[in-house]
Structure 1
Amino acid sequence: MLNLQVIVVSTRDERKGPLIAAWFAAQARRHGQFNVEVVDLAEVDLPLFDEPRHPRLRQYEHEHTRRWSESVHRADAFVFVTPEYNHGTPPSLVNALDFLVQEWAYKPVGYVSYGGASAGLRGVQMTKQITAALRMVSVVEAVAIPFFTQHIGAETGAFDPGAVQERAAAAMLDELLKWAGALKPLRG
């Protein structure tokens, strides 16, 4: 079975990304075609990129980079659960992507974006430029959740955006599965 990492991008205090990631991880487990791992960039806690040599060389000096490299290396596909910051990619994601090169290559990525009216889509568009440079394949299918706070239960605190987003998640997972299998031989 292929390994899917659901990466929580926001690292702010009082963020809602973990709620949305938990919902999506449940959708991925229900899909049944991936081993699902949730990775929280707040817990990974990478400093601002600090390796002395270019990441393409994989000559990592710092333990935090070696741990991050191992985590990303074991995944066959990714889903970034991401808001947008100032119409762009959150700095936490840019930094996490910049730490590595080869570990990202030839792996598909999907996006669960959230926000206000734009549903985080402007940030996703910017992120796609970065992931393309890393030889990742962004799938077309996506989950975009506008006005996401209305889907957080007042009593339970659980996130549930409804059936339309469940179908979008299933379609994205189907596409990630196809691409992950097709790209695996390219990774040697």
Structure 2
Amino acid sequence: MGDRILVFYGSYRRDRLGIRLANYIVSGLRARGCDVELIDAMAVGLPMLDRMYKEYAPGTAPVAMETLATKIKSADAFIFVTGEYNWGMQPGLKNLTDHFLEEWFWRPAAIASYSAGRLSGARSSFTWYGTLSEMGMVVISSTLTVGPIVQTLDADARPTGEAGSALAQAFPRFADDLAWWTEAARAQRARKKPPY
């Protein structure tokens, strides 16, 4: 099996459109031979942050948190699929990520943003870059920005029209960039123990 990649999605809205982009990415990575899993923050259902995973005594964290911590620690890389709320992050995805810290360290992360409008969630993408870096991930320079999402992906996450063609053309470079950093980080972790 190929690289183990977790794709995180964080909208809690009733009519979620960004799930189309998350599903598109999952499908695209599977076609490349990756071992990929979609982590839907709403389905995981962590409460608003009170205690981080590391603040629980071993074996006492809630089951959903323990399960996700295990998945994060065993992953090679991460992709964060994020919408933009009032020029900022989706609170559901941010809340999920904040439950963990050391579990993220020394692995690459990529950002894919979307919106209903033409700016494609770019402002949210910019905000996530600093946050993920602070959480110990190496954020790759390639991003996917999708908007308007309903003109880019249909309900079955298939590219449509001119915007869909642009996404299909951009995805390979995005995936190649993540794969390069995933291999580099894995080789370095095997060669030398991280400094902390």
The TM-score with structure 2 as length reference comes to: 0.84
Q: Gaps (5+ residues) in structure 2?
A: none
Residue of structure 2 equivalent to 1:175: 177
**Residue by residue, what CA displacement relative to the aligned partner does 1:146-184 show, whole Å, maximum 9, x if unpaired?**
21112344xxx3231523212211111111111111112
Kindly indicate whether residue 189 of structure 2 is the aligned counterpart of residue 186 of structure 1: yes
How much identity, in percent, do the aligned residues show? 26
Q: 1:158 aligns with which of 151, 156, 159?
A: 156
Aligned-residue RMSD, C-alpha: 1.9
Residue of structure 1 equivalent to 2:143: 142
Matching of residues 85-96 of structure 1 within 5 Å:
85-96=85-96
Residue of structure 1 equivalent to 2:41: 41
Residue of structure 2 equivalent to 1:62: 61
Partner AA of 1:105 in structure 2: F
Query: 1:19 deviation in Å?
Result: 1.9
Partner AA of 2:156 in structure 1: A
Q: Secondary structure at the match of 1:140?
A: strand
Query: 1:17 deviation in Å?
Result: 2.1
Residue of structure 2 equivalent to 1:6: 7
Residues of 2 paired with 1:129 and 1:91: CA distance?
Answer: 16
4+ runs deviating over 6 angstroms: none
- The structure-2 alpha-carbon separation of the partners of 1:15 and 1:95, relative to structure 1 and needing over 3 Å to count, comes to same
- The structure-2 alpha-carbon separation of the partners of 1:117 and 1:136, relative to structure 1 and needing over 3 Å to count, comes to same
Query: 1:71 deviation in Å?
Result: 2.0
Residue of structure 2 equivalent to 1:120: 121
Residue of structure 2 equivalent to 1:27: 28
Q: Secondary structure at the match of 2:145?
A: strand
Residues of 1 paired with 2:170 and 2:56: CA distance?
Answer: 36
Paired positions, count: 182
Residues of 1 paired with 2:37 and 2:65: CA distance?
Answer: 19
Residue of structure 1 equivalent to 2:97: 97
Contact 1:141 1:168 in 2 (8 A): no
Contact 1:4 1:78 in 2 (8 A): yes
- The structure-2 alpha-carbon separation of the partners of 1:134 and 1:58, relative to structure 1 and needing over 3 Å to count, comes to farther
Residues of 1 paired with 2:57 and 2:85: CA distance?
Answer: 31
Partner AA of 2:5 in structure 1: L
Partner AA of 2:23 in structure 1: A
Partner AA of 2:72 in structure 1: V
